[in-house]
Structure 1
């Protein structure tokens, strides 16, 4: 039996993929759970739940316990102001890190951050991700830590990206950012494998590493549209959505969210992230210290995400 891993975010998109890989690999996984109703997908597995929230230090003490490693996948992705993101993306990181640093022996700590942390001025979300990374530096002398900065992560259980991908599969591709922008992508199972390989390697560098699917210099919107054309076997109509329309829609969504009281995804800050010209990652530093290489390129990842047959295989084969 492998070591004990304490995990947050196990019921989320990325965290659930990480949890499955950990269980398959023989790790003993202890995961934080805020609601028992969310545990159904792991019924019948060896995963151990700790009921509580990231705001409860006692629950976090139980979560970390005698763990050999802590993997913090939980994160806030919806909100308007910095305060909407701060509690989960900054305070929770700091709280977990300080509890982990107080243990003897001290566990290793892995933060699943975001490439947005590279450009903290763009949005409250991006700023909170950078601050979360900086929170780890307060315990650098006591806690071995690493942060991973994935770009856009996609996969079958991603509710945020699937509507856009399905629209493109139907032959309509709205371009929400700049036509000349370049961006990296990463299939969720490759990210989960990067976590596994980090666990297997004794990483000494305390820093943030970028990850992507290995496509040189990232993608352009044209390359993504062309990939969908190949998947469909026919033309994809692509069109640039005017900035004015997106700006008005984002501001209106923010206003409605403030009145009704829900946490929006589509905001002016998110629009600034969309319009950023360079979201290209560099795997090289991570690959130098961890035995990892991405295995899933865009066409295969889209087939897996959208339930399309892989070449030479039937769906579900």
Structure 2
């Protein structure tokens, strides 16, 4: 029979985020002790502080990783940088951060049972309308984000640590606490949705509850050891479909406003200027924009 007990305490990176906070909830429901790596400036709104242990630090700070790893039995590494204008930062966080976390586990968690790396389908590359990529296909990421996530996977595989590990590549995640979905609902509520002119882009989606269920399975099932898995709903859908489903859920009729692809670089540049002035992440960073339009 497969092992069904998660060995704790579990270190969760990215626990203050959308996916990570749901993973923390699921681990607590199973009665597992949880430690979260968080920055001093992190928003802890989704974390039950009275039920978990906080380890202050950053994925780019080796000393804090060493401290956070002491006594840990399992790791869920979901921290990542998804949007930035600093291209080197993708690799500092998504590749080097992963490598340093693995080394911290090797040096400071001698009883570690499982290391679970949450990657992304963007590491595999875009899906065509005729063929969905599988785990056996050659990776062809097109964005720096996807390339850096693939580099993080390969860093783990190259080190080949003495503990068991699993890599999961989820599709685009949606569900409660998802800020991107809330923005889309906001547009639908107002009656209009902006789309890119031409055929609507395909996206492989997965609900956060389905993903968390799969991650829990990856943490416990011995069959998953040393494996890489794609996790998404069987059929990719278009962004137009996503908008239509949101409108149906809200009981709204919407008007789709088509923007020519040729205008997107200018729109992205304007969004970058706004983000810089307001000290926010650029929601249309060119690298991620290119990824979304594949």
Interval containing the TM-score (normalised by the shorter chain): 0.7 to 0.9
Mapping of 1:1-317 within 5 angstroms? 3-4=7-8, 5-35=10-40, 38-39=43-44, 41-43=46-48, 45-102=50-107, 103-119=109-125, 121-140=141-160, 142-176=162-196, 179-212=199-232, 214=233, 216-233=234-251, 235-254=253-272, 263-276=281-294
Contact 2:201–2:292 (CA under 8 A) maintained in structure 1: no
Contact 2:122–2:141 (CA under 8 A) maintained in structure 1: no
Give aligned pairs, total.
274
**Alignment TM-score, normalising by the size of structure 1:** 0.76
Aligned-CA RMSD value: 2.7
Contact 1:77–1:265 (CA under 8 A) maintained in structure 2: no
What secondary structure, in the 3-state scheme, does the structure 1 residue paired with 2:226 have? coil
Question: 1:111-143 CA deviation, whole Å, 9 max, x = no partner?
Answer: 111111112642221211111111111222523
Runs of 4+ displaced beyond 3 Å: 36-45, 232-235, 251-263
Contact 1:89–1:132 (CA under 8 A) maintained in structure 2: yes
Q: In 2, Cα distance between the equivalents of 1:95 and 1:48?
A: 21
Contact 1:169–1:228 (CA under 8 A) maintained in structure 2: no
Q: In 2, Cα distance between the equivalents of 1:75 and 1:202?
A: 26
Contact 2:16–2:42 (CA under 8 A) maintained in structure 1: no
Instruction: Note the residue ranges of structure 1 that are not aligned, 5 or more in a row.
Output: 277-317
What secondary structure, in the 3-state scheme, does the structure 2 residue paired with 1:138 have? helix
